Structure 1
């Protein structure tokens, strides 16, 4: 009997907290181990192509023709970056504008109706978007630009479709970022006499800049990894546009190349290894985007917690004269407008006519902008931006 009592005394109860910590740590480590294993496996499969072709020739070669032994991935990488950049030019202005409307201007009733529709858009399969692009967007592009595109399959078509697909991500994340801005910011701005539109543009949006940046980066990740939709509407030709800004040219992305060629390639061949090397490049690009998202979100968290460490570059920018910053922004915007007009006009006219159109557009734009600032006062800008009833209740504003 005494032996049994001694055994019971020596028996220790199970530490449930320690067991739970161990199990959860193992589950959390599984994702990291999986990613590392994927990178190692893909890199190992692509080593043969890397040793046979060479990294420099693979990254800079412009001809991708595996059947003749040419493995230049520059046109595929450029096509991926081009169609993603075009998609962001479509998604960012519309998405951020829609987020500002939903967060700061729309009534609660309108927000409750529109926000679920946007979230449903994010769940639509990409092949459905591709089918709609073939049935609607491709004929539309051919009808609008019959002299520039033969079939409607082009870089422009793919960018518009990917921009529509990235809209739900940009809108949702930007709206959440705007919603996290404290109401005290709005109250303080209104208390010193600012209009609602001035408060939105000069207080709310700058305060949520880190979250909006994260939304844009996530939209880039959504567009750069798309396969089916972009494969169905871009034409799938591994070439550089001629000229490089020709948005009506066909192109091919890395994802489309993997989807088209992997089912037919011979396992163990150089072509097989080259496709894995393409997959590794795409994974590195997406990994860089995800790391950028994490850095931006950490910066946003530090900013709102009041524990942000300002670097030398940020400190120098904050100490700059605001007049110089405004001049730099105007110069950058003017250069962007001139470049956009020149690239667009060069698709229809010659080089001299395109330069003249760019210069003329910039001059007219600057004149109209200067005249508009002088004649349109702040109250009129408020009415134009927020409508005839700018002080209607909204989810974020004090009533």
Structure 2
């Protein structure tokens, strides 16, 4: 769903109140909803063009409903994935069949709606698990959800979607063969450790050699670190030499990795990670995939409550299609937590000093 400025003809009566927020043609607030109309305000507005924000359905979206991916389902999926593959060295066909059941659950959750994946919220749920490889499965599930959403945007058939989701779930299996002291090292990897880490795509493929998975799944596992311009690893493939499934997972893998906390750094804000992905279109990533990812990723659902880096709290009023990381925010509380009596708007497209630090669905009390 997109928001557009729509011109309206005003018929304002003195002593009454405005029944909607009114803006000029560039989106500057002229009169907020509920404000009393004086003679001066009426005369001023009658002599200029006045607009309201109008919601317009995006014909490419299957539904205008947005909801968070269910936390209970998410935690069960990660736990199931961990149970299937924990300490695995070779993958059996039986394990793949169990994983296909998880694929069906993911696709079912994503089918009828636009899903908002609150990465920070679900990570809080899995911090209770201390196993060194549990984070690998949480990462893999996040990548699979994001990849499935992107593939839907690219109009994948149901059959192709299942193969893509399976490959995304399995893409980092090879990390189970990386020593935990390397995988969780807080400092910079040595040249030898980095070389070992770069072998995890091939380790994953070796683990799957007895499982009879489709070639596209193997391609995703082996090539998810290859890059559009040939700068990736392990083989330096580029463009159409990289299976499209692997190209999709490459984008969602990097986004998820950038936004996640690591032993050696804190995760980046989602808006920053997305802008880095967009900057890499045509370089490290297929521009068509980046576009589909950007259009399918719901960072800030309309009407979601957000906290800005300034401490101010507001609600997402409109999300620009061309830059979904910089929505229009209607402020509800100032940086001291006080409710605002008058409507104030912050356009993050114009004010680059502010950004969204946290998003949630309910207003904090």
Compute the TM-score of the two structures, normalised by the length of structure 1.
Answer: 0.23
Q: Which has the larger radius of gyration?
A: 1
Structure number with the bigger relative contact order (C-alpha 8 A, sep ≥ 6) is 1
Q: Which has the higher helix share?
A: 1
Structure number with higher strand proportion? 2
